Structure 1
Amino acid sequence: MDPINILIAINIVATFAANIGAAKKGVKDKLAVFRDKPKTYLQTLPLVISTVNLLILILAVFQIGTLDYEQKFFSLRIISLIVYLIFSWIQIWSFKTLGEYYSQEIAVRKEHKIISAGPYKIIRHPQYLSQIFVDLAGALATLSYILFPLALIQIPFLILRAKEEEKLFKKYLSEEFESYKKQSGFMIPFIG
């Protein structure tokens, strides 16, 4: 098997193991008491696309749906691997930083507060930015011609989902959120 693909496979297993607590919490969230949880396609569609992207990345590790690994793509694949690894762990860091406020749902809990530590000091949606880079970089590192267009299609849905979350924060945590918004970028530091 290709060494780049082996590193991606190892990282998939490692990040999955690191994220088990968040996955368990997502199940518990079904029983949580929320102040507001809008009914929107943005609750499920981005999550479904992300799951499909992960499955396609796993197939790409086995060189299913990929271009031939020619030497001329080696530098692109190495750079993409590094970006993939960095952002997959930033995503885990983001989930862990949210702690009890992590949810797979767009929702505001009864006792919610704005988290502005860790990666959230710099940008408001590091988890979505990380998802974008993980999928794009994973596609380029494996040369997956199936994953790359799906990763691009996912971007506007993640941006819309982030904006939907911000609407809830503005509605229920307006002063705290407005102060936080002035100190952080939307998905890019210092912008938005």
Structure 2
Amino acid sequence: MDPINLLFLVNLIVLFSASFGSAKGSLKSGISSVVQRPVTWLQKTPPNILALVTLLQIAGVFGFAVHASFISEEYLVPRVILLLLYFLFSWLQVLAVKNLGTNYSQDIVILKGHQLVKKGLYRFLNHPQYLFQLLADLTAGLVLASYPVLFITLFISLPVLVLRAKAENRLLAGYFRN
């Protein structure tokens, strides 16, 4: 296996374990403490698309649907730079989730005791979780030279996450009127 792909896979495994606590907390909060939950296709479709992208990244690590000539010595330096950017973006995405604390949910919801988060990455960016998710997926597609990852990220994930961010903004604006 290509060493860059191996490092990518190790990071992906560590990311799963780092995100597990937030996901578990999100499931608990989704069951008991929801104040508002709009009915929209944007609740479940974006997470399913992102799960598909993750599966395609794993497939790309093992050489499925990749541009094989990019996985060569000639492109080592650009791939290392892209891998480092992927590490940065993926861990900034984890940090964005951690910054949300108990307000984090995989759904578009208002939870009991919900607070508007203005700390950490949210001081500077409106939806850092989505931004860094997209940047991580794009750099992953480039590192792995995976056409499916790049295509789905650019033409499906990007517009869907923009729509989801707008839906979240509407919900938050309605709840926190000032």
Q: Tell me how far apart the structure 2 counterparts of residues 59 and 159 of structure 1 sit (CA, whole Å).
A: 26
Q: TM-score, normalised by structure 1?
A: 0.87
Q: Tell me how far apart the structure 1 counterparts of residues 104 and 143 of structure 2 sit (CA, whole Å).
A: 29
- Residue deviations 1:50-100 (CA, integer Å, cap 9, x gap): 000001101111111111113443333222211110011001111111111
What is aligned with 1:145?
147
What is aligned with 1:33?
33
Q: Tell me how far apart the structure 2 counterparts of residues 114 and 141 of structure 1 sit (CA, whole Å).
A: 35
User: What's the RMSD between the two structures over aligned residues?
Assistant: 1.2
What is aligned with 1:120?
122
Which amino acid is the alignment partner of residue 165 of structure 1?
A: E
- Residue deviations 1:124-154 (CA, integer Å, cap 9, x gap): 1110001101111000000001111011121
Does residue 92 in structure 1 map to residue 97 in structure 2?
Answer: no
Unaligned 5+ segments in structure 1 are 176-192
SS of the residue 1:87 aligns to: helix
Q: Tell me how far apart the structure 2 counterparts of residues 36 and 81 of structure 1 sit (CA, whole Å).
A: 39
Unaligned 5+ segments in structure 2 are none
Does residue 64 in structure 1 map to residue 64 in structure 2?
Answer: yes
Q: TM-score, normalised by structure 2?
A: 0.94
What is aligned with 2:110?
108
Note if contact 1:76-1:140 (Cα within 8 Å) is conserved in structure 2. no
Q: Tell me how far apart the structure 1 counterparts of residues 75 and 46 of structure 2 sit (CA, whole Å).
A: 30
SS of the residue 1:35 aligns to: strand
| More off after superposition, 64-73 vs 102-111 | 64-73
* Pick aligned residue for 1:154 from 150, 153, 157: 157
Q: Tell me how far apart the structure 2 counterparts of residues 79 and 161 of structure 1 sit (CA, whole Å).
A: 30
What is aligned with 1:2?
2
SS of the residue 1:155 aligns to: helix
Q: How many residues align?
A: 175
Q: Which runs of 4+ in 1 moved over 6 A?
A: none
Cα drift, residue 32 of structure 1: 2.5
Larger RCO: 1 or 2 (CA < 8 Å, sep 6+): 2
Aligned-pair identity in percent equals: 37
Which amino acid is the alignment partner of residue 79 of structure 1?
A: I
Change (3 A) 1:54 1:47: same
Counting only pairs closer than 5 Å after superposition, residues 41-80 of structure 1 correspond to structure 2 as: 41-68=41-68, 69-80=71-82
